[in-house]
């Protein structure tokens, strides 16, 4: 994931009471099988896009 996506995920996590470092630690867990790791990256990317849409709506 690029740095912008990581920053948006951190912000979204903080706004929802989730420890952003823990979330990113789970996302970067190398012990996950590759298909699950790819799916997790897709979900986190979708969350970032959702967060962007919410930010635009709130503006």
| Cα–Cα nearest to 51, from 2, 13, 1, 23 | 13
The residue with greater pLDDT, 26 or 17, is: 17
Please give the model's pTM, rounded to 2 decimal places: 0.49
Largest Cα span, the chain? 39
Find how far residue 35's CA is from the centre of its chain: 17
Res 35: pLDDT: 82
Output the DSSP codes for 4-34. HHHHHHHHHHHHTT--HHHHHHHHT-TTS-H
Q: Which domain holds residue 48?
A: 3-58
The string of pLDDT tens digits covering residues 25-53 is 776 666 767 787 778 788 888 888 888 88
How many domains are contained in the chain?
1
- Whole-number mean pLDDT of the chain? 79
């Amino acid at each position: 994931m690029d740095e912008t996506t990581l920053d948006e995920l951190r912000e979204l996590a903080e706004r929802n009471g989730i420890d952003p470092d823990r979330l990113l630690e789970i996302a970067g867990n190398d012990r996950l099988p590759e298909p699950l790791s790819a799916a997790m990256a897709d979900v986190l990317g979708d969350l970032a896009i959702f967060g962007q849409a919410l930010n635009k709506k709130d503006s």
